[in-house]
Amino acid sequence: MARKFFVGGNWKCNGTAEEVKKIVNTLNEAQVPSQDVVEVVVSPPYVFLPLVKSTLRSDFHVAAQNCWVKKGGAFTGEVSAEMLVNLDIPWVILGHSERRALLNETNEFVGDKVAYALAQGLSVIACVGETLEQREAGSTMDVVAAQTKAIADRVSNWSKVVIAYEPVWAIGTGKVASPAQAQEVHDELRKWLAKNVSAEIAATTRIIYGGSVNGGNCKELGGQADVDGFLVGGASLKPEFIDIIKAAEVKKSA
């Protein structure tokens, strides 16, 4: 079974209501491949989720950038998975490297978050990736495998999980993993899933690439056999996000 190409736009901590309306207008007017070719999800900051959800075209979906690790309650400043479900937000990004680094989210904590969000019915974009020091030390696969294992240990149903491989050294730096570097890690990650979860999960789970993806490099990256799409940062706030969505066509012609 072919894996449907997936393009996520992570808006991070950016935007005003006016800017968000402009981005949504650009997306709504765009000519993009149909839903059977590409799945598109955009992730605005929490405060703009209802605005985007209510105005965005129906063939694109909305994701939160994070959620709390368990049921809501006395957790000031947090947003629970249940609240996202209540607002009809179908997706959530968990374990982004910025949260792992800046907020000290551990592999185990991220694994718990993924399991809890899935249990509430959300679909999850689970992020993994190594730092520059880890890559230079030759431990990329050890790091990514440990991050993935913390999720695999807690998850039995993978049908609503997309793995985003995001080399930390390539996020927002302008440095991009070469298509060969991205393919190598995606291939290794898929082999890890086959060995440690199942061959079926390995074959059907989408592994997307994130890290300075833009209109200029998306086709070559997307053409790699084990790259099933992208999680786009800065470029998702710009019109070139449309070009990145269109890169899904490389799989159709492959």
Cα distances (Å, whole numbers) of residue 201 to 35, 61, 159, 163, 219: 22, 23, 8, 12, 26
Cα distances (Å, whole numbers) of residue 117 to 79, 94, 95: 12, 9, 12
Active site residue 96: yes
Contacts of 10 (CB under 8 A, 6+ apart): 43, 65, 93, 96, 210, 231, 232, 233, 236
Task: State both tokens at 222.
Answer: 């997307």
Catalytic, out of 39, 98, 105, 166: 166
Q: Which of 243, 185, 187 is nearest to 218 (CA)?
A: 243
| Alpha-carbon gap, residue 197 to 191, rounded angstroms | 10
| Alpha-carbon gap, residue 130 to 227, rounded angstroms | 17
Task: State both tokens at 20.
Answer: 């968000």
Contact criterion met (CB below 8 Å) for 42 and 12: no
Catalytic, out of 96, 98, 105, 186: 96
| Residues annotated as catalytic (active site), given as ranges | 96, 166
